[in-house]
Amino acid sequence: MSEPILALYLGDWAEMREQVQPIRIEVFVVEQGIDPELEWDEADSLSLHCLARLGTDPVGTGRLLPDGHIGRMAVRRSARRSGVGSAILKALLQAAVERGDSVVELSAQRYVEDFYRRHGFGAEGPPYQEAGIEHIRMRRSLQT
């Protein structure tokens, strides 16, 4: 039997919400214990969202905000360490390049800091607490 094919979709919140929301609830609210009220914000309706599917299963998501921040990167446990997170990040970076952004920034949970470093991000400033989880601000230039 062959492996399911990874497919990525970009779209707005109205198009993506139904499939993205359960992933974010599973990862951020259920696994990490983040207050659900902290998970949803006005930036969702302003952002470009990425949805990853393995076969027919929605397994990951992320968003690119209008100000060049990447956020809400989440991959379901069943799809971790399979390249899904990298594929989502690369799709959002490409969208930022196509939009004309010169820099992207994000707030990384410290336990995934090395993941972002492997994708060209560098730390900006000291670690800080957000929603009870240690984070670090990271930045990457998109200019070649």
Domains for the chain: give ranges and CATH numbers. Answer: 6-101 (3.40.630.30)
Residue with tokens 């379901």: 76
Report whether pLDDT(40) > 90: no
What pLDDT is recorded for position 1? 62
- pLDDT at res. 144: 61
Residue 37 — pLDDT band, cuts 50, 70, 90? confident
pLDDT tens for 45-102 read: 999 999 999 999 999 999 999 999 999 999 999 998 889 999 999 999 999 999 999 9
Q: DSSP state, 34?
A: -
Q: How many CA atoms lie within 13 A of 45 on its CB side?
A: 2
Dist CA 118 CA 83 (whole Å): 13
For residues 18-42, average pLDDT:
92
